[in-house]
Structure 1
Amino acid sequence: MTDKLRGADIFARTLDRAGMHQIFTLSGNHIMEIFDATIGTKINLTHVRQEGAAVLMAGAWGQLTGNVGLAMVTGGPGHTNACAALCTPEASEMPMVLISGHAPTNELGRGSFQELPQAEMAATVTKASWMAESAAEIGHDIALACRIAASGRPGPVHLSLPSDVLEEELEDHPALWPEAEDFVAIEQLLSDVTADAAIAALESAERPIIIVGPHMCTKPGRAAQRALEAKLGVPVIGMESPRGLNDPCLGAYAEELQKADLIVLLGKPMDHTVKFGDAPFVDEGCQFVVLDPDISLIDRVASNKGDRLVLSAVADSYPAAAKLTERGRNVGDAAWCAAVHAAADHRPDAWADITGEEGALHALDFCRGVKSFTDQHPDLVLIMDGGEIGQWSQANLNSERRITNGVAGSIGAATPFALAGRVAEGSEPVLTIMGDGTFGFHMAEFDTAVRNDLPFVAVVGNDACWNAEHQIQIRDYGENRAHGCELLPARYDQMVEAMGGHGEFVTKAEDLPGAIQRAYDSGKPACVNVMIQSVAAPIVRRG
């Protein structure tokens, strides 16, 4: 007679067999059966302090590794805390699965402990969301969830696991276990015919631009962008910011986009970030090619642009880029390509001379100090979050492995992203930039970092203000009506020290490089607390 397996055992062993050994989690009643079932497996549980942090860590881990990240939380309020964070990995196209405990099925509709319509709640911010119905199907459920998360446009998937399903016992049987291929993403390939048609459209245009979305703003994605541009001679631009054409990272690129006569949206949604492709931001005669994994986004362009959509196909971004590169030839204009990149690379000369005041650095002083460190580590994991200081940093700092708070425009992910970066990256530095508003969202995760020996450096721009909103008040209502956005000039460095990390406090620009280096050399989770001025983020134009 064989030993019986619980549903929780099937779940844990399915992940173990699939080589999925990392879970970001926060414990709770409904999932303690799974905690028990991981004993004897290779699964590592990184136990966090707030459920939303687990979601953000899973998303960032997925983006950095290219594999599906896993977050696991308890049901009810734990699930709701996690759901609030899902909008960031959804908009940033991060492959991850949220596994939530759930009230037992035999108590549903009877007022069970923490009973909520969890699948329906998560459905609005995921690619798919459902509740497992039997222990026999748990392994196949998790395999399907991983497949959906990684297929097409990557993103979050939710699976609820009722506690009685996790406790259910049954005999081992081969039918319980999914095959390795059941986890693998389904690719939607671009045909040779469509690729040739897209290349012909590019050749017919005088000023074409290819725009890619967040999924291709990763290290392998940037390499694919460069290869595609080198082959076609057409400028390729990645867009991953909620500020869209006003993203300071893109310099004065918006000025050249206005001149384009053909825009190829390669996995890039037509949305607010490109001003919906409307005039005057895009020429009213500009034509469009859309290569996207989601037919609904192709339909969006068709309904809004009519016959200006000259070609479309359902295709995944990476295979489509590879196919265009494979079949491509130089169809662009070198002067036009150079002009687009010159615009995107433009930064005002006056920035070089801007400095702060006594006791508070300007954002540019801040960026120059950080750059002294990032230049020494070109392959570091660089995370940039926050309102105005995040925008200044994105305009002045870069890395092939850069992660931002993403198109969702929700701040607060920086510290969870940094922990995930350290779990994913064993040797290169992990440095995260954030404002003081961002720091407050997940400051307790420094405890997680200390407990799990996950060193990283957080450089906090501290202006004692919700500055993005403060700047909106000044701009839209007048300085005399700016109120309610004040924060304390808190010593966040001392908070981190109190949890066992390393702290640095900086009020002078010349002290910042040394403070960052000491923080890194400490080998601990570290906070460099930098007092800065409250200045508006730049909108870069040459006119």
Structure 2
Amino acid sequence: MTGAELTIDLLAKHGVKEVFGYPGGAIMPIYDALYGSPVTHYLTRHEQGAGFAAVGYARSTGKLGVCFATSGPGATNLITALADAMMDSVPLLAITGQVPTAAIGSDAFQEVDVLGMSLSCTKHSYMVERAEDLAEVLQEAMHLAQSGRPGPVLVDIPKDIQMGAVNYHPWLAADDYKPELSQSELTKANELLSQAKKPLAYVGGGVQMADAQDELMQFLKATNMPAVSTLKALGSVTPDYAYNLGMLGMHGGQAANLAVQECDLLVCIGARFDDRVTGNLAKFASKAKVIHLDVDAAEVGKRKPVNASLVADLKDSLPHLATHKSNPEWLAHISHMQQQYAWRYDYPGEKVYAPYLLNRLSRLMPNNGVVCCDVGQHQMWVAQHMTFSHPSNHLSSGGAGTMGFGLPAAIGAQIARPNDFVLTVSGDGSIMMNIQELATIRRNNLPVKLLILDNQRLGMVRQWQQLFFDGRYSETNLSDNPDFVQLAAVFGIPGETITHANQVDEAIDKLVASEGPYILHACIDDKENVWPLVPPGAANDQMLTEVAK
């Protein structure tokens, strides 16, 4: 086989059925090998779109996402998706073409040191220097992307190695390093649990990566322990759990943030004390002792000291936690806060109210539907006002906060789960970042739904300019955007625009009932803000809940 043929053959042997990419000169041999192969390729209209489609594919299934790009600008256009996957621990394999080995270092046409560029935003990167190494590198890369704490891996393959003859030889992975649960730390943790009067579970994205939702829910139901979730963990705690407080942090719910500040034991399950979660770190859960469960020892104690650390796979560690029933007085207080700070949807105005629209959509869409968010105010409203039965049904760019994520991620999710309802929720700022992927929807006849919340502003930045920069609105006016429904129509996608509250219910019904792709363009108040908000440098119980518009 040639190196290119071996590449495609190995992907197929390892269960990869779909890949995303964009061809070019240095990766042309691999595209030639794709022709007639069992691996289906989806052409996106930008390499960043390919990277995010692969991320959406991976996050909605737990499988390896794969993307291709050529050398130079093709490879550099993948960097943002690699960084996003690194921050959110997504199993991703990026294969890039490179100029021939003899030309490396000569500033050849479309030569870029993608190995060097990618080192900081991948779990590992390779450049194949010898044809005899190709088989081992590819197999190791696929294994590495999916093992332990998942992450993106890049393999850069020079064109002459793609074209030259290579031999296949199986690569046998060494036994995976699997950290063993420390019995002494487990004893400490269970003692802390037995002593706690106000315990609280702080749930992170590690639960989904460990496929440990069942173990989490068994623990929570056995203890009645209240639970808060990070943005990436939403759906890990099932919506029907009585003491599910939802998201915590900068735009978390009031009950969630107050509970964290009041608890005396914080059980951190696969989370990393991100700054958007903690606010002022010194004041975060300052009354609480901490038990930290994570597969990655590097996260334990990285930002907050712990009293017990269970470094192990969550499927192994969670069942060993003691299941003492939570204090009834604490639970009564939690229930009171849930009622006191419950979201309200009786908006008095005539304009479309985004929280009501999203809440109604959440109640009407199929239980196993997938929502893919872009980044901004709409992202926080989705997290606050929609509910999810599993974290693979809520795809949102967490650590990187990447605008332009939602549309290509939805394409990847729809291809991975062709029979499921898949929706992109975007803003009028974010949608313009990768709007060319409407062509990918059209080409593949994908029934992806689009909801654009349009306030003619770069909303989250405008909100901060209002609150923290004395209302100096610098470069956040987007009132010259195109008509999104007309634009979608050019790509054969039907839809409608709504401008008033009395249009919302019927419009949501149409969106949910549509069989093919559909766009709902909802015009909202340009002064509407996301509440609550923890200001910079403040503790999480110092939330702003409203200011004059």
Q: TM-score, normalized by length of structure 1?
A: 0.87
Q: Which amino acid in 2 is paired with 1:510?
A: N
**Number of matched residues?**
519
Return the offset for 1:261: 2.3
Query: Contact (CA 8 Å) 2:54, 2:412: kept in 1 or not?
Result: yes
What are the residue-to-residue correspondences of 1:13-412 with 2, within 5 Å? 13-170=9-166, 172-173=167-168, 175=169, 177-178=170-171, 187-191=178-182, 194-216=185-207, 220-240=211-231, 245-248=248-251, 250-275=253-278, 278-283=281-286, 285-301=287-303, 305=305, 309-321=306-318, 323-324=319-320, 328-337=322-331, 339-340=333-334, 343=337, 347-348=341-342, 351-357=344-350, 360-371=351-362, 373-374=364-365, 377-400=366-389, 401-412=393-404
Which deviates more from structure 2 when the two are superposed, residues 393-402 or residues 259-268? 259-268
Query: Contact (CA 8 Å) 2:374, 2:405: kept in 1 or not?
Result: yes
Q: Deviations over 1:248-281 (max 9, x none)?
A: 4544211111122222322211331343773433
| Cα pair distance change 1:235/1:348, threshold 3 Å | closer
Tell me, in whole angstroms, the C-alpha distance in 2 between the residues paired with 1:241 and 1:13: 34
Return the offset for 1:439: 0.8
Q: TM-score, normalized by length of structure 2?
A: 0.87
Tell me, in whole angstroms, the C-alpha distance in 2 between the residues paired with 1:343 and 1:185: 44
Tell me, in whole angstroms, the C-alpha distance in 2 between the residues paired with 1:344 and 1:32: 57
Query: Contact (CA 8 Å) 1:249, 1:344: kept in 2 or not?
Result: no
2:531 is matched with which residue? 538
Q: Which amino acid in 2 is paired with 1:229?
A: L
Query: Contact (CA 8 Å) 1:270, 1:277: kept in 2 or not?
Result: no
Q: Deviations over 1:397-419 (max 9, x none)?
A: 11222222213222221101111
| Cα pair distance change 1:504/1:215, threshold 3 Å | farther
SS at match of 1:101: strand
Return the offset for 1:346: 6.2
Return the offset for 1:387: 1.1
Q: Which amino acid in 2 is paired with 1:289?
A: I
Query: Contact (CA 8 Å) 1:432, 1:457: kept in 2 or not?
Result: yes
SS at match of 1:137: helix
Unaligned stretches of 5+ residues in structure 1 = none
SS at match of 1:94: coil
1:499 is matched with which residue? 491
Tell me, in whole angstroms, the C-alpha distance in 1 between the residues paired with 2:212 and 2:395: 13
Return the offset for 1:298: 2.3
Q: Which amino acid in 2 is paired with 1:316?
A: D
Counting aligned pairs with the same residue, the percent is: 24
| Cα pair distance change 1:19/1:241, threshold 3 Å | closer
Query: Contact (CA 8 Å) 2:228, 2:256: kept in 1 or not?
Result: no
Q: Deviations over 1:207-238 (max 9, x none)?
A: 22232322325895544432221234433432
Which deviates more from structure 2 when the two are superposed, residues 39-48 or residues 201-210? 201-210
Q: Which amino acid in 2 is paired with 1:231?
A: A
1:453 is matched with which residue? 445
Tell me, in whole angstroms, the C-alpha distance in 2 between the residues paired with 1:53 and 1:215: 25
Return the offset for 1:44: 0.8
Query: Contact (CA 8 Å) 2:62, 2:209: kept in 1 or not?
Result: no
Query: Contact (CA 8 Å) 2:68, 2:96: kept in 1 or not?
Result: yes
Query: Contact (CA 8 Å) 2:531, 2:544: kept in 1 or not?
Result: no
SS at match of 2:424: strand
Query: Contact (CA 8 Å) 1:431, 1:458: kept in 2 or not?
Result: yes
Return the offset for 1:91: 2.0
Return the offset for 1:69: 0.9
Which deviates more from structure 2 when the two are superposed, residues 31-40 or residues 454-463? 31-40
